[in-house]
Amino acid sequence: MVPWQPLRADDPTECGGFRLTHRLGQGGFGTVFLGFRSDIDEPAAVKIFSSQYASSHLWRQRFRREIELIKTMAGLHTAALLDSGGGDEPPWLATRYVHAPSLDRLVHQYGAFEVLPAWWLATGLGEALAEIHAKGILHRDLKPQNILVEQSGIKVIDFGISRFTTGAGITVEPRFFGSDQYCANEHLLDPRAATEKSDVFALGAVLVWVMTGRTPFQDVMHHERLAGAPPNLDRVPDQLYELVESCLAVHPDHRPTALTVFRTALDHLTDFAVPLASEAGLPLPVEIRDFVEQWAAEPVPVPEHVLATTGGGGATSDSGGADVGAGGGESKADPGPERRRSAKGIFGSDWVARWHDAADRRRDSYGR
């Protein structure tokens, strides 16, 4: 179950004062490690960038500018930046470690989502992208592997290939980075053409995959994609068809904004009377809820020197070490078998009232 793997023989053991203890993953931009530092009382995901990018002066410019923007991010659905080394060799950044399984893992293990969980996911992803876009950042690689499901909601991670949407004087090399099954046409044709609407396209593609188990272009050749081939939405439930179709429009101007996706999905969730996050729990099948809870309960392997410095408990939390803006105190009581039958009966008699209060607060924060 655990996501961390032992370090390899050629892996570093220290970076920016962080002691690196395990591997968390590897991608096109570098390798991510589990790290600990005595002055930070929680685990970190330390991303060390590959030398092929770090050697580019232009890339380092973008990196330093991006860090300045990411510093301001501590939203409900994003992991906060802890520290960075843009001038180091190689450059690196450390974000709060999110101790939770990926959406990719959950769907592969438990199957496709039904309508209610899909609306919940659309709400969280719409809000996550709205948070990111409000800071002038594009994600550029939204996919199931970069979406983590905590007990308190979702987290969107890995901004390693994002670029700025504000400012001038920095251009992106004409190279494609990302997952082509979730990428918009304009992004595939020219990475410099990616916009906020390209992220919305990826959101729509993720929703198709999570509801059907297939990406919308799974059987489409690359050249057909570039020519504007339509997505396969045959198995998408009617309730979400219109939203998904609009997100996957070929022309970016025909797609909604992330904030519109959030508001649309939130309105549909109100019909179910289900919570967004920690106000009342996750509207997911019991087996998924149990798995997420078991994952969070798995102790993070904290080095002894960190335990000694923090007094023994500073590196973990009730939410698994990643509670950025998520709010605390969620009920972890087993809702019982009736949750499979009725959304309104899942969490008890006061659940509906709590959800409506939470939805009103969330709407007010963005303006009606």
Higher pLDDT pick, 308 / 17? 17
> Regarding the domain with residue range 103-272, which homologous superfamily does it belong to in the CATH classification?
Transferase(Phosphotransferase) domain 1 (1.10.510.10)
Rounded average pLDDT over 182-196: 89
pLDDT higher than 90, residue 1: no
Residue pair 340/114 in contact by the 8 Å Cβ criterion: no
Higher pLDDT pick, 1 / 258? 258
Instruction: Tell me the CATH number of domain 10-96, given options 3.90.1420.10, 3.30.200.20, 3.40.50.720, 3.40.640.10.
Output: 3.30.200.20
Say what the pLDDT of residue 358 is.
Answer: 65
Rounded average pLDDT over 36-52: 91
Beta bridge partners of 84: 93
* Span 279-288, pLDDT tens digits: 556 888 889 9
* Span 195-250, pLDDT tens digits: 999 999 999 999 999 999 999 999 888 888 888 889 999 999 999 999 999 999 99
Q: How many CB atoms lie within 10 A of CB 176?
A: 14
Q: For residue 177, name the pLDDT band (cuts at 50, 70, 90).
A: very low
pLDDT higher than 60, residue 167: no
Sequence letter at residue 145: Q
Helical axes 286-297 vs 103-110, angle rounded to 10°: 130
Q: For residue 273, name the pLDDT band (cuts at 50, 70, 90).
A: low
Q: How far apart, in whole angstroms, are the C-alpha atoms of residue 205 and residue 221?
A: 16
Q: How far apart, in whole angstroms, are the C-alpha atoms of residue 360 and residue 71?
A: 28
Q: For residue 35, name the pLDDT band (cuts at 50, 70, 90).
A: very high
Higher pLDDT pick, 199 / 164? 199
Contacts of 320 (CB under 8 A, 6+ apart): 98, 99, 100, 150, 151, 295, 296, 297, 298, 300
The domain locations on the chain are 10-96, 103-272
Q: How far apart, in whole angstroms, are the C-alpha atoms of residue 363 and residue 368?
A: 6
Would residue 141 show up in a list of annotated catalytic residues for this protein? yes
Higher pLDDT pick, 68 / 308? 68
* Span 309-356, pLDDT tens digits: 544 333 333 333 332 222 233 333 333 333 333 344 333 334 455 556
Say what the pLDDT of residue 86 is.
Answer: 86
The catalytically annotated residue of 10, 41, 141, 190 is 141
Say what the pLDDT of residue 213 is.
Answer: 96
Q: How far apart, in whole angstroms, are the C-alpha atoms of residue 317 and residue 321?
A: 5
**Lowest-pLDDT range of 25-39, 144-158, 171-185:** 171-185
- Show the 3-state SS of the chain: CCCCEECCCCCCCEECCEEEEEEEEEECCEEEEEEEECCEEEEEEEEEECHHHHCCHHHHHHHHHHHHHHCCCCCCCECCEEEEECCCCCCEEEEECCCCCEHHHHHHHHCCCCHHHHHHHHHHHHHHHHHHHHCCECCCCCCHHHEEEECCEEEECCCCCCCECCCCCCCCCCCCCCCHHHCCHHHHHCHHHCCHHHHHHHHHHHHHHHHHCCCCCCCCCHHHHHCCCCCCCCCCCHHHHHHHHHHCCCCHHHCCCHHHHHHHHHHHHHHHCCCCCCCCCCCCCHHHHHHHHHHHHCCCCCCHHHHHHHCCCCCCCCCCCCCCCCCCCCCCCCCCHHHHCCHHHCCCCCHHHHHHHHHHHHHHHHCC
* Span 98-151, pLDDT tens digits: 999 999 999 999 999 999 999 999 999 999 999 899 888 889 889 999 999 998
* Span 54-100, pLDDT tens digits: 777 887 887 887 788 778 776 788 888 999 998 898 899 999 999 99
pTM (2 decimals)?
0.79
